[in-house]
Amino acid sequence: MSVQLVLLWSDVLLWLLCTAALIFGWRSMRLLHLARGWAKLGKNPIATGTATLLVAFLLVGLTDSIHYREALPPLPDAAPDAEIRYGVEVFSALDYLLEPLRTQNEKTYSAPFATRLYAMESMETAAGISRLYPRLTYGGAHLDDEIDRTADIVKRLMTGVLLAFFLLAGIYVFSRRVLRKKYPGFAWQGVLAALCAIVLVFLPLFFLTEGYHVLGTDKVGQDVLYQALKSIRTALIIGLVTTLVMLPIAILLGIAAGYFRGWMDDLIQYLYTVLNSIPGVLLIAAAVLMMQVILDTHPEWFATAAERADLRLLALCMILGVTSWTSLARLLRGETMKLRELEYIEAARAFGVPSGRIVIRHILPNLMHIVIIALVMDFSALVLAEAVLSYIGIGVDPSTTSFGTMINNARMELSREPAVWWSLAAAFSFMFVLVLSANLFADAVRDAFDPRYEKRA
């Protein structure tokens, strides 16, 4: 089957950010004060375990950031050398891997592991028209008798758990014989604990999803587990791309205010004081609504609906970045004011070294620990911000799957009788694991790189 690669701006930025992070990590190992922090981080089991979980989330997001369009069937009277036509629907590599979850849609709501719909319908039976719960088209369709459902679920679950134990045993032996001997100071126990949790969850899920909707389906019958996995990419883009917007502004203005002081310091302080005085939600809402008007009046800019939704996602990242740089800039300003009074900085100025060279060679390297700490700690806050903004209707495009849109859709579902709770539970669980991992990793990064915590320890 012929496909056409589709490059969305968010895909390019996410891959570039991951590449830049790897290059920065490798280069920072050559700086003594940062290398010590990385070494201390590698000896912390909580840091290595949460980093493993974050890498797993990142792999899902990167897989979902490879997009393509499928070729349409040729017309009956088309010539053999006719130009290939492609559909307007954009898929990702994750969609290809999760094709059964994406395509096996039910009619409407169904509970986790259910074999029947969650709503009654009028059906014709031998006794006449009756109100019954109809069988699902895909969930549990392989069962001849619904009584066998529990035994089938246990069988699939035990198969996944057994394979998980064999895989984990191999990983453990490899780590004991190879990795711990080659890298003796690294906290491999944290990595193994995280891998154990990942494998014990996803291998049983692999076998269970072949016959059931593990987390149920939503109003239009789409699998909730598929939606939760698709939401990971949106959360990563909000957390990572926003930093790409925020970081240059915060570093430039924070260092400029602290180093040059005078009128420049007064101007920058006035700028972020005014920005902080405006309620953040109102500022973001106004910017999103203005951006939405521009998108609605220029539909010719987009070849597909995915491109339109992607531009709105990037615009939201821009808005969040422009409104969230002030706290980091204030931290960098204060630290720069202390650094510029050090003797070697004053000596460099006395010898006529240009200010730009002093900032790049002496000021900026001594601020990187603050930048690293701030970026990691802001990630979880940005993920939660997207969920809140989408919940109140000013977040990502409605066609973009995110934790916020899942929670927003679940708002009305909870008022049903009986309540549809699994969409909210799925979004909350995935977001909880992602945010908790990011927060624990941020605490470990702070302890490793912040000199104040090192002295206290």
168 near 196, Cβ under 8 Å?
yes
CA distances (Å), origin 106, targets 63, 133, 217, 225:
26, 13, 7, 14
Confidence of residue 160 (pLDDT cuts 50, 70, 90): very high
What is the model's pLDDT at position 451?
A: 61
**Phi, psi of 314, rounded to the nearest 5 degrees:** -65, -35
pLDDT digits (tens, 9 = 90+) for 165-203: 999 888 888 888 888 888 888 888 899 999 999 999 999
Average of per-residue pLDDT across 236-240: 88
What is the model's pLDDT at position 455?
A: 47
7 near 411, Cβ under 8 Å?
no
73 near 217, Cβ under 8 Å?
no
What is the model's pLDDT at position 204?
A: 92
Look up the pTM and report it: 0.86
What is the model's pLDDT at position 233?
A: 92
Average of per-residue pLDDT across 6-32: 84
Confidence of residue 228 (pLDDT cuts 50, 70, 90): very high
pLDDT digits (tens, 9 = 90+) for 353-396: 888 888 888 888 788 778 877 887 788 888 888 888 887 777 78
Answer yes or no: is pLDDT of 81 > 60. Answer: yes
Please name which of 384, 403, 409, 404 lies closest in space to residue 394, comparing C-alpha atoms: 404
Name the range with the highest mean pLDDT among 83-92, 137-146, 224-233, 306-315.
224-233
Query: Could you give the CA distance from residue 214 to residue 199 in angstroms, rounded to a whole number?
Result: 16
What is the model's pLDDT at position 430?
A: 92
What is the model's pLDDT at position 429?
A: 92
Chain mean pLDDT for the chain: 85
3-state SS string over 216-285?
Answer: CECCCCCEHHHHHHHHHHHHHHHHHHHHHHHHHHHHHHHHHHHHHCHHHHHHHHHHHHHHHHCCHHHHHH
What is the model's pLDDT at position 452?
A: 56
Confidence of residue 56 (pLDDT cuts 50, 70, 90): very high
What is the model's pLDDT at position 230?
A: 92
Average of per-residue pLDDT across 262-273: 88
Query: Could you give the CA distance from residue 168 to residue 365 in angstroms, rounded to a whole number?
Result: 41
Please name which of 8, 4, 18, 22 lies closest in space to residue 65, comparing C-alpha atoms: 8
3-state SS string over the chain?
Answer: CCEEEECCHHHHHHHHHHHHHHHHHHHHCCCHHHHHHHHHHHCCHHHHHHHHHHHHHHHHHHHCCCEEEEECCCCCCCCCCCCCCEEEEEEEHHHHHCHHHHHCCCCCCECCCCCECCCCEEEEECCEEEEECCECCCCCCCCCCHHHHHHHHHHHHHHHHHHHHHHHHHHHHHHHHHHHHHCCCCCHHHHHHHHHHHHHHHHHHHHHCCCCCCCCECCCCCEHHHHHHHHHHHHHHHHHHHHHHHHHHHHHHHHHHHHHCHHHHHHHHHHHHHHHHCCHHHHHHHHHHHHHHHHHHCHHHCCCHHHHHHHHHHHHHHHHHHHCCHHHHHHHHHHHHHHCCCHHHHHHHHCCCCHHHHHHHHHHHHHHHHHHHHHHHHHHHHHHHHHHHHHCCCCCCCCCCCHHHHHHHHHHHCCCCCCCCHHHHHHHHHHHHHHHHHHHHHHHHHHHHCHHHHHHC
Say how many CA atoms lie within 13 Å of 72 toward its Cβ.
12
What is the model's pLDDT at position 72?
A: 82
Confidence of residue 457 (pLDDT cuts 50, 70, 90): very low
